Amino acid sequence: MSDNANLFSLIEANSPHQRDSACLITQQGVPYSWNDLHQATAKIAHLLTSLNLPKGARIVSHVEKSPEALLLYLATLRAGFIFVPLNTAYQSAEMRYFIEDAQPSVVVCSPKNFGWLAQLAFQLGCEHVFTLDDILPNQGSLLQRAAPLPGDYPTVHSSADDIASIIYTSGTTGKSKGAMLSHGNLSSNAHALQTAWQWQSSDVLLHCLPLFHVHGLFISCHVALLSGSRMIFLPKFDAHKALALMNQSTVFMGVPTYYVRLLEQPGLSQAPCRTIRLFISGSAPLLTETFHAFQQRTGHTLLERYGMSETNIICSNPSQGERKAGTVGRALAGQQVRIVTDDGQPCDSGVVGHIEVKGPNVFKGYWRNPEKTALAFTADGYFKTGDLGKLDGDHYLTIVGRSKDLIISGGYNIYPKEIELLLDALPGVVESAVIGIPHTDFGEAVCAVLVCDRPVDTDQLIVTLKTQVANFKVPKKMVIVDELPRNSMGKVQKNLLRTRFS
Ligand code: AMP
């Protein structure tokens, strides 16, 4: 058994003996074998190594999703460098911030962005900029330069604590921070998920998520690759195409919005989903209404789990056993999850408090930001997730929201989720977001932002709510919008709503 903790060496060790079998298949049915994966990552790793980069050099990836984008990630691990994936939606000012902060040695971008991005990167001291095209990958300079290089490569030796990747947080409360994840963080979580989700080499993952976020890059790919199982790779989520490929897959992972979109497909029923053994949801709250509607249409009980950039997955409902709607399940093996009061005292079961976690999956700190790192941990080494939640008697966790979304009105705490659940159950309301807005008397007042499918009388909604909850929790203001602002992972951007309605 090798003592190399490099995640790629674990993938190598777990690759099937039949290296000519498919590891990944594109939407058009083009197969990439395990041999292809090993050879292509070797070539790219040789190219990176030939640049004489310092140990721990950062490789920024700002490319569209493609099998080659995944190969670039794996090659970076293999060569012992640090992978920094960035959303291609980021424009010049955002990229300036990330490049200044990450100080990469290499930037890989789409050919269409080469002009402005290369100029910016060189100006900020980055020495190498390559291109990678998602449609014609061989036309980009990365693969052109890598193609003649050898197809084998001795994977660099890494310790479990060596940093494998920096993931920038979504930055809704200020500047985005780079969460440093080590090889050990990533592999421990992937192993815990293999067990929790009973992953088999025969599983086929229908992969529709983006590759710049932990959900699509780590949580889905690692568990599949470490199990020697296959992925069907879609460039992006498309409900119609996903549904058509369900019958070739055994596991589907998505954000709640994907399930809402699937439910809009008239063809969604038991038949096209019969080969699927797990539908997994996470990255944003799943409405219980979606959970029940999906169960009714397909016969499948969605498995909801909870994670974040700094930790990967923390809790999951079980693959065998009760999946409780509205909860994200129990802590994964090896992790301790606790709920504490504002002053750090343990909360009883059923009582809402701050969610804190400790375990081998918890990140090494924020890149070049020791102050924020220190603030993120308790004296006894728990990471403060910034989420609020409660544990039930069976240790299933329910997330109530981000602590920064907590509303304090006239000295009372109001958990937006409690009001959102009540609003969502009222006739005509499709979904809601409850936020705090400044109020001269109360400090903050409750404001409800609603999406409705028919005209509703908001005064009447307020009257109904008054019969259901204490007066201080009833919204002082209600507004109706066409849709809630969401980021690419389906999270409602309450910061935008607060700015708009304050
Ligand atoms: P990110 O770091 O972008 O993955 O965002 C992590 C945050 O997403 C968590 O701190 C939670 O606030 C939220 N989140 C993730 N999974 C869930 C879930 N199943 N239910 C509710 N919120 C979730």
Per-residue pLDDT of 335-356, as tens digits, reads 999 999 999 999 999 999 999 9
Which one of 143, 158, 173 terminates a domain?
A: 158
308 CB near ligand 1 (under 6 Å): yes
- CA–centroid distance, 283 to ligand 1, in Å, is 4
Residue 60 identity (one-letter amino acid): V
- pLDDT score for 10: 98
Which one of 158, 183, 199 terminates a domain?
A: 158
pLDDT at residue 249 tops 70: yes
Residue 253 identity (one-letter amino acid): M
254 CB near ligand 1 (under 6 Å): no
Residue 84: inside a domain? yes
Q: Output the residue whose Cα is nearest ligand 1's atom 9.
A: 308
Residue 473: inside a domain? yes
Q: Mention every residue, 6+ apart, whose C-beta is less than 8 A from residue 333.
A: 192, 195, 196
- CA–centroid distance, 326 to ligand 1, in Å, is 14
pLDDT at residue 246 tops 60: yes
306 CB near ligand 1 (under 6 Å): yes
CB atoms within 10 A of CB 149: 16
pLDDT at residue 436 tops 90: yes
Q: Output the residue whose Cα is nearest ligand 1's atom 6.
A: 308
384 CB near ligand 1 (under 6 Å): no
**CATH number assigned to the domain comprising residue 465:** 3.30.300.30
- pLDDT score for 318: 98
- CA–centroid distance, 198 to ligand 1, in Å, is 23
385 CB near ligand 1 (under 6 Å): yes
Residue 142: inside a domain? yes
- CA–centroid distance, 310 to ligand 1, in Å, is 11
CB–CB of 305/280 below 8 Å?
Answer: yes
What are the φ/ψ torsions at residue 492 (nearest 5 degrees)? -70, 130
192 CB near ligand 1 (under 6 Å): no
SS (H, E, C) 80-95: CCEEEECCCCCCHHHH
Mean pLDDT of 366-384: 97
Mean pLDDT of 167-195: 90
Instruction: Output the pTM of the full model.
Output: 0.92
pLDDT at residue 395 tops 80: yes
284 CB near ligand 1 (under 6 Å): yes
Average of per-residue pLDDT values in the chain:
95
- pLDDT score for 85: 98
312 CB near ligand 1 (under 6 Å): no
462 CB near ligand 1 (under 6 Å): no
- pLDDT score for 12: 97
Give the confidence band of 331 by pLDDT, cuts at 50, 70, 90: very high
Mean pLDDT of 292-302: 98
CB atoms within 10 A of CB 321: 10
Using CA atoms in the order 54, 184, 69, 71, what is the torsion angle rounded to 10 degrees? 90
> Probe ligand 1: pick from 387, 421, 489, max atoms within 8 Å of CB?
387
Task: Report how far residue 237's alpha carbon sits from residue 65's, in angstroms, rounded to the nearest whole number.
Answer: 11
- pLDDT score for 294: 98
- Structure tokens given for 449: 């932002």
Q: Output the residue whose Cα is nearest ligand 1's atom 21.
A: 285
Which one of 158, 179, 212 terminates a domain?
A: 158
Task: Report how far residue 301's alpha carbon sits from residue 105's, in angstroms, rounded to the nearest whole number.
Answer: 45
Residue 314: inside a domain? no
pLDDT at residue 310 tops 80: yes
Sheet holding 477-480, edge to edge: 429-439, 443-452, 477-480
* Residue 375, H or E segment: helix 370-376
Residue 232: inside a domain? no
Give the confidence band of 4 by pLDDT, cuts at 50, 70, 90: very high
> Probe ligand 1: pick from 219, 308, 311, max atoms within 8 Å of CB?
308
pLDDT at residue 197 tops 80: yes
Question: How many domains are there within the chain?
Answer: 2
pLDDT at residue 326 tops 60: yes
- CA–centroid distance, 399 to ligand 1, in Å, is 9
Helix axis angle for 256-263 and 288-298, nearest 10°, is 50
Specify the pairing of strand 429-439 against strand 412-414.
unpaired
169 CB near ligand 1 (under 6 Å): yes
- Structure tokens given for 270: 């038991």
Residue 464: inside a domain? yes
CB–CB of 62/133 below 8 Å?
Answer: no
- pLDDT score for 171: 64
Q: Please state which of the ranges 54-63, 75-84, 251-260, 407-416 shows the lowest mean pLDDT.
A: 407-416
**CATH number assigned to the domain comprising residue 98:** 3.40.50.980
pLDDT at residue 172 tops 60: no
487 CB near ligand 1 (under 6 Å): no
- CA–centroid distance, 68 to ligand 1, in Å, is 28
- CA–centroid distance, 158 to ligand 1, in Å, is 29
329 CB near ligand 1 (under 6 Å): no
Atom number in ligand 1 closest to CA 310: 2
pLDDT at residue 238 tops 80: yes
Domain that holds residue 72: 1-11+34-158
- pLDDT score for 1: 52
Q: Exposure of 403 by Cβ count < 10 A (0-12 exposed, 13-18 middle, 19+ buried)?
A: middle
pLDDT at residue 170 tops 90: no
Per-residue pLDDT of 438-482, as tens digits, reads 887 788 899 999 999 999 999 999 999 999 988 889 999 999 999
Q: Output the residue whose Cα is nearest ligand 1's atom 1.
A: 308
Mean pLDDT of 394-401: 95
Atom number in ligand 1 closest to CA 489: 3
- CA–centroid distance, 491 to ligand 1, in Å, is 8
pLDDT at residue 174 tops 70: no
Residue 348: inside a domain? no
- pLDDT score for 404: 87
Residue 147: inside a domain? yes
- CA–centroid distance, 213 to ligand 1, in Å, is 12
- pLDDT score for 173: 58
